[in-house]
Amino acid sequence: MIDADTAKTSSQSLDAKIPPGPIAQKWDTWLDAHRMIGPGNRPGRKVIVIGTGLAGASASASLAALGYDVQVFCFQDSSRRAHSIAAQGGINAAKDFANEGDSVRRLFTDTIKGGDFRSREANVWRLAQLSANIIDQAVAQGVPFNREYGGGLATRSFGGVLVQRTFYARGQTGQQLLLGAYSALQAQVGLKRATVHNRHEMLDVVLVDGVARGIIARNLVTGAIERHAADAVVLASGGYSNVFYLSTNAMGSNVTATWKAHKRGALFANPCYTQIHPTCIPQTGDYQSKLTLMSESLRNDGRVWVPRDPDEKRGPKDIPEADRYYFLEERYPAFGNLVPRDIASRAAKAVCDEGLGVGLIKRGVYLDFSEAINRLGKATVAGRYGNLFDMYRRITDDDPYEVPMMIYPAPHYTMGGLWVDYELQTTVPGLFAIGEANFSDHGANRLGASAMMQCLADGYFVAPRTVTNYMSNTADDVSTSDSAFDATEDAVQERIDAMMNVGGTTAAQSFHRELGNVMLEKCGMSRDADGLSEALTEIGEIRERFWTDLRVDGKPDELNPSLEYAGRVADFFELAELMCLDALRREESCGGHFREEYQTPEGEALRDDEHFAKVTAWEYSEGENAVPIAHDEPLHYENITLATRSYK
């Protein structure tokens, strides 16, 4: 078992390759100096992209449009079924259509502050700078954003900001943006510049002389193990919230691609930074395998409250205003119901811990739209949130137009991921990570409507330039007959054989549920040293039982969901240990990482900027009792002043 006392710290510094000069000019400075490849030479360069969500689809379409040979892999039966399609509320951009005085600097400041001052300044500024381009790109593709009566694009607010900068398509913004990126990708497929490999799962990265030159993938329909070579590999495989078992992520979402890259030398940064979303349908029983997100956009017009009396028996419509506790509005009057997600989630948990929760198991709070319906009219509310209301009614059989929704926090997003430099390249040359697969932009807490912004900024505008810059220096072709492919495929096959040969009696899902319970209880919304140490012990015990009592049905050389699931759960065990270790080492509270020992008298997060204003990127160590090695990247703030977050 690994623990914080035995973890090693490296003295080696990490080079983020941040360009010199004023922050507002860094990206342009980089663009002016980056190396290019002539159009005639591009078809001979091959790029592998893993994942077809917003980041992967946009990067694939853009790289193929430049003329590269792009090979795209996804485990879904269609590239348009990536989890990005479930994103709901909107996408941020500093276009100031609401005429409020918004700007790139304000978006930059809100994002740094929302992340509790734990993100890299240069990357966040570039994100804010590119945000306006994303909206223009999406509109040109025909994405049906909501519009005002006069025809202009409509915007609304999201948590942690005081302006309306979020563009939206009702409650299905992710779906519409993904359809735009998917259409762009399919256009390149039609031009034979891109090839999409559906129902394929990447199981390892192939390194030739320390450089990423391909992947080993499993055809999920036939079970065949395949080799694919390339000049560069881009991981856009999403986050790892399913380590908690119950989350808002699609059930197939997993950490396997990024974890395999980590084990091949890519550092994994800030794995303890996970986001618990405050606006989800509460769990109703142990039988559940997934939780459902209700968009943060609902908190624009919905008011969050609980009864003041813990013994309240009346229905929500019968409880008068005087007996309602609007806890977010009372605790945070400046932002009210639109405080950042980490704050809203902890506040909801706190009132439930005080016995004020609602629902069968008293782990819920009300989200009430009655005031908005009276003020705006039912038609206006339906125009903003109609599909979300319909979804809620289908799941719960309650009509939110008539009675308040019931919500509770749930695991949703992960700010940690593979460490990347300014060019989105990992510590493995030729291996890039974009979107939620990397750590770079959101610090310890992501603001709402910023995930889609990062995915599309990385995919449409950053990765096509940085991958080009990298490939301009690579000229040697590599063959899948190279001995590195032999060794990597052998390792993949050995792992598959190990799982198939356990011969136990317990399905992977049972172990996954056990792991999720431990992680949610001891490395979830709040953590402490004792609980994290206990979690490391318990994870090790469950993991040992996994490898002695796992049951995998079927055969490896056929369609076998049982084998797929087992492999993903095996990787979650290893990740979970690193998450707990990272949380133990970070002796402060910041954003979504809330250590009970480090909080203000008011119960807010207490940072330690002297010791922890840094990124911790972990190096994998091979061997059963090997200890991960921590590499620290100091965070320097020259364009914003470190301060205690306040939303009151």
pLDDT recorded at residue 575: 98
Question: Residues 351-376: pLDDT tens digits?
Answer: 999 999 999 889 999 999 999 999 99
pLDDT surpasses 70 at 485? yes
Report, as an integer, the average pLDDT of 50-69.
98
Cα–Cα distance between 119 and 194 in angstroms, integer?
A: 34
Report, as an integer, the average pLDDT of 486-497.
98
The domain 42-272+414-471 having CATH identifier 3.50.50.60: the answer here is yes
DSSP 8-state assignment for residue 42: G
pLDDT surpasses 60 at 1? no
pLDDT recorded at residue 579: 98
Amino acid at 260: K
Those residues whose C-beta lies under 8 Å from the C-beta of residue 564, and which sit 6 or more positions away, are: 75, 201, 220
Report, as an integer, the average pLDDT of 134-144.
97
Report, as an integer, the average pLDDT of 171-184.
96
pLDDT recorded at residue 2: 60
Cα–Cα distance between 573 and 576 in angstroms, integer?
A: 5
**Per the structure block, which two tokens stand in for 65?**
């449009």
What DSSP assignment string belongs to 507-544? EHHHHHHHHHHHHHHHSSSSB-HHHHHHHHHHHHHHHH
Cα–Cα distance between 551 and 495 in angstroms, integer?
A: 15
Q: How far is CA 227 from CA 476, 498, 534, in A?
A: 18, 21, 41
Domains in the chain: boundaries: 42-272+414-471, 277-412
CA dihedral of residues 494, 500, 506, 512 (deg, nearest 10): 40
**Per the structure block, which two tokens stand in for 297?**
């956009």
Which of 216, 223, 211 lies closest to 492 in space, CA to CA?
216
Q: Which residue has the higher pLDDT, 3 or 497?
A: 497
Please identify which of the residues 170, 341, 363, 607 carries the catalytic annotation: 341
**Per the structure block, which two tokens stand in for 487?**
């060794």
pLDDT recorded at residue 26: 98
**Per the structure block, which two tokens stand in for 566?**
């087992």
Residues 579, 585, 587, CA angle at the centre, nearest 5°?
Answer: 115
Those residues whose C-beta lies under 8 Å from the C-beta of residue 441, and which sit 6 or more positions away, are: 111, 119, 120, 123, 124, 127, 450, 454
Cα–Cα distance between 423 and 17 in angstroms, integer?
A: 7
Cα–Cα distance between 97 and 201 in angstroms, integer?
A: 42
Query: Coil, strand, or helix at residue 65?
Result: helix
81 catalytically annotated? no
Q: What is the largest CA-CA distance in the chain?
A: 74
User: Can you give 268-318 as a three-state secondary structure string?
Assistant: EECCCCEEEEEEECCCCCCCCCCCCECCHHHHHCCEEEEECCCCCCCCHHH
Least confident of 10-19, 364-373, 633-642: 10-19
Report, as an integer, the average pLDDT of 299-309.
96
pTM: 0.96
The secondary element (H helix, E strand) that includes residue 155 is strand 155-156
pLDDT recorded at residue 623: 81
**Per the structure block, which two tokens stand in for 520?**
């949610």
Q: Which residue(s) pair with 92 in the sheet?
A: 166
Q: Side by side, which strands form the sheet with 91-92?
A: 91-92, 166-167, 155-156
Residues in the chain: 648
CA dihedral of residues 594, 90, 374, 382 (deg, nearest 10): -130
DSSP 8-state assignment for residue 335: T
DSSP 8-state assignment for residue 457: I
Only one residue has tokens 């892999």, namely 73
**Per the structure block, which two tokens stand in for 379?**
């038609």
Cα–Cα distance between 579 and 282 in angstroms, integer?
A: 25
Report, as an integer, the average pLDDT of 386-401.
96
Question: Residues 455-477: pLDDT tens digits?
Answer: 999 999 999 999 999 999 987 88
Question: Residues 250-303: pLDDT tens digits?
Answer: 999 999 999 999 999 999 999 999 999 999 999 988 888 899 999 999 999 999
Q: What is the CA 418 to chain-centroid distance, rounded? A: 12
Report, as an integer, the average pLDDT of 380-407.
96
Report, as an integer, the average pLDDT of 385-409.
96
Count Cα atoms within 13 angstroms, Cβ side, for 129. Answer: 15
Those residues whose C-beta lies under 8 Å from the C-beta of residue 220, and which sit 6 or more positions away, are: 75, 199, 200, 201, 559, 564
Those residues whose C-beta lies under 8 Å from the C-beta of residue 20, and which sit 6 or more positions away, are: 26, 29
Question: Over the range 482-505, which residues count as b (16 or more CB within 10 Å of their CB) and which as e?
Answer: bebbeebbeebeebbeebbebeee
- Crossing angle for the helix pair 256-263 and 561-585, nearest 10 degrees? 60
Which of 144, 156, 147, 149 lies closest to 93 in space, CA to CA?
156
Residues 11, 12, 14, CA angle at the centre, nearest 5°?
Answer: 130
Cα–Cα distance between 591 and 606 in angstroms, integer?
A: 9
Those residues whose C-beta lies under 8 Å from the C-beta of residue 140, and which sit 6 or more positions away, are: none
Report, as an integer, the average pLDDT of 185-196.
98
pLDDT recorded at residue 474: 82
pLDDT surpasses 60 at 421? yes
Do residues 113 and 105 make contact, with C-beta atoms less than 8 angstroms apart?
A: no
Do residues 581 and 9 make contact, with C-beta atoms less than 8 angstroms apart?
A: no
Question: Residues 219-246: pLDDT tens digits?
Answer: 999 999 999 999 999 999 999 999 999 9
Question: Residues 541-573: pLDDT tens digits?
Answer: 999 999 999 999 999 999 999 999 999 999 999
| Overall CATH class of domain 277-412 | alpha beta
Cα–Cα distance between 600 and 23 in angstroms, integer?
A: 33
Q: How far is CA 328 from CA 348, 365, 448, in A?
A: 9, 11, 17
Average pLDDT, the chain: 96
Q: How crowded is residue 636: how many other Cβ atoms within 10 Å of its Cβ?
A: 12
Query: Coil, strand, or helix at residue 444?
Result: coil
